[in-house]
A and B are shown apart, each in its own frame.
Chain A
Amino acid sequence: MEQKVSNNNSFMGYTRSDLTNFLIAMILSFVAIPLVVQTDYWYSSILIPWLCLALAAIGQQIVMGYAGQLALGAAGFMAAGAFACFNLILRVPDIPFFVALGLSGLVAAAFGILFGLPSLRVRGIYLMVATLASQFFIVWMIDKFGWFKNYDTSGIITAQDIVILGKPFTSPLEMYLVILVVVTVLTILAVNMARGSTGRNWMAVRDMDIAAESMGISLLKTKLQAFAICAFYCGVAGALFAFTYLKSLEPVAFDIKLSFKILFMVILGGLGTISGAFIGAAFILLFPVLLNSVGNNVFHGAIDATIISSIEQVVFGVLIIVFMIYEPLGMAKLWGNIKQRFSRNK
């Protein structure tokens, strides 16, 4: 490994295969998909929510997979980001979209620090309960104070159109590209944080916080940093989710069920890997679609939709148990195993 880092073929410590993978992913997502995929359905129902939820899952991954803090309030931070973005665009004239997006991430990060404070005293399930407070409190606050919803009486408000440099981005393809840019930038950032000293501190705290502290790592700084960054990612993801996928803002959309979904993405995808966030998000999103189409095509609608969604729940639950027993590192690890097997045979 050491040799590879100092190799001429590497760039900033990335190996050549890392860079090729990155290039392939970029070409696929920025060029190939927009050229090949023409139906709006794919963008608005699959690619857009996938990228948004994957971004939130990266946030959850940072706090849970890297820093080892069991938090269950991602949807609350997403709601904070979404409504911050709505209010910024509504109340600040001519605010550029990306500035509003960044600021709403910061608003969510402030909540992240506030509700991350208990992590300094407690861990495990205790912390989970403390973070549930953020989930219920943020959604309640948005729901009860009319100002956040611009005193809209219907309770459901439409998100503004995304306008960048005077050009509206309203078609599914255009919105997909906007999200893709944000997700790409934030993913690169996350990968680098995870590889750098920040990530090493997180992992040291995760593996044994007392040992980390005795080695001079500040628990206060490391834990709160993880919470803030997690909330930032969730906030940005929430704003994008509301503006491009939901297209309307209602606090109920960010209930505890969404938090559980994001938790599952991280667990099934693989704790402690950024790629796990993407794999997990894809799985959680696509599995119900698959199950529904099986229900419709194989059984021709003979099975009730509520039964299908119940079965979906059972399958998710069983999968989590199975992964916990056989592969606690999730699908990202499974994928790695398959790859390793083939490269060994070469």
Chain B
Amino acid sequence: MTEVLFFIEVVVAGLLAGTMYSLVALGFVLIYKASATFNFAQGAMVFFAVLAFVGFMELGLSFPVSFVVTVLLMVLVGFCTERLVLNPLMNQSEDTLLMATIGLGFVLEGLAQAAWGVEVRRLDLGIGDFPIEWIIDVFGLFVSALDVTAGIVAAVLIIGLALLFKYTRMGLGLRAVADDPGAASSIGIPLKNIMLLVWSAAGVVALVAGMMWGARAGVQFALVDLALKALPVLIIGGFSSIPGAIIGGLIIGATEKVLEVYLGPFFGGAIEGWAPYVLAIFFLLYRPEGLFGEKIIRRV
């Protein structure tokens, strides 16, 4: 019985940790949906946003004020990106845009470190990374409060974004742009504003993801590498699907934890580093467009 409980515990911890990957992946999906651009800089945005947030806190600003200021900063980043990088590269191939966002990622990482330094910061959200007591009492399971919070925050964000896309004028425009940018702009949908909105939303998602990760692992450069794990999540879920990002994150989180706990000891541990990528390769061979992605049809 204890073994079963332990297994459930591992899976639950994995699933909840997976929502953190989902949060990062969500930022990728937002931008990919609207502009068919794979934003490699999303990881750097996570790092940039949370470092800025901690930086403002250190200046003595209160929690909500720092949050708002950081959100405004991320909107500014989105604005600059749209004007300086995406606009001049309009109608270029996907690979060109991808490489440009790799460059953008380097710029953001460098700027963040130049402005706020390289040392590891602690971020205290007031939520401990400890097991919740009543869950131990009722189910006998050890589940971290931070994991649960991340799960709830991810759920709220996703529902919020889904409502935004479904019921607002902006959201309608965004779906039109995602469908066919040329047709959308020809009937007068403001492409630039939509892009700005999407990049700002991705910035806010990055900030939230960064706060969750930062509270667990400290605010440090390693966040960029962690964010890379959102890539296999996207492969599994599909690049253009928000539910895909969530389910992909859950699959990666759970599989990674289970493999690490049950297979890791045979290989000397730390297989978490590559297991998600190998899992992604198997998914690629079976279903290249991801679980929820649109089928890719290519013609000469």
Contacts and interface: CB of A to CB of B under 8 A. Distances in A.
Interface string B267-300: 1111101100110110011001000000000111
Interface stretch (B12-20, B109-117, B140-148, B160-168): B109-117
A118 B106 contact: no
A325 B225 CA distance: 27
A283 interface: no
Contacts, number: 131
B274 to A, nearest CB: 4
21 contacts: A122-B284, A124-B38, A124-B94, A125-B38, A129-B235, A130-B277, A130-B280, A137-B277, A140-B274, A144-B267, A144-B268, A144-B270, A211-B300, A306-B113, A309-B113, A310-B114, A318-B103, A320-B106, A324-B103, A325-B88, A325-B89
Interface in A224-260: 256, 260
Contacts of B278: 133, 137
A318 B92 CA distance: 18
Nearest to B108: A317
Interface residues of A, number: 44
Contact of A324 (B99, B114, B271): B99
A214 B300 CA distance: 9
Given A316-B103, A325-B88, A136 B98 contact: no
A159 interface: no
B159 interface: no
B285 A320 contact: no
Interface of A: 70, 118, 121-122, 124-126, 128-130, 132-133, 136-137, 140, 143-145, 208, 210-211, 214, 256, 260, 263, 267, 306-307, 309-321, 324-325, 328
Nearest to A322: B103
A118 B277 contact: no
B231 A121 contact: no
B57 interface: no
A256 B98 CA distance: 17
In the A-B complex, list the 6 residue pairs whose CB atoms are closest, starting with the nearest: A320-B103, A317-B106, A313-B110, A133-B277, A317-B107, A314-B110
A219 to B, nearest CB: 13
A324 B96 contact: yes
B184 interface: no
B285 A118 contact: yes
A175 B111 CA distance: 38
A310 B89 CA distance: 25
A118 B110 contact: no
Contacts of B104: 317, 321
Given A121-B284, A121-B285, A313-B110, A320 B274 contact: no
Nearest to A72: B102
Which of B38, B99, B105, B235 is packed against the most chain A CB atoms within 10 Å? B99
Given A306-B117, A314-B111, A324-B99, A133 B105 contact: no
B99 A208 contact: no
B225 A256 contact: yes
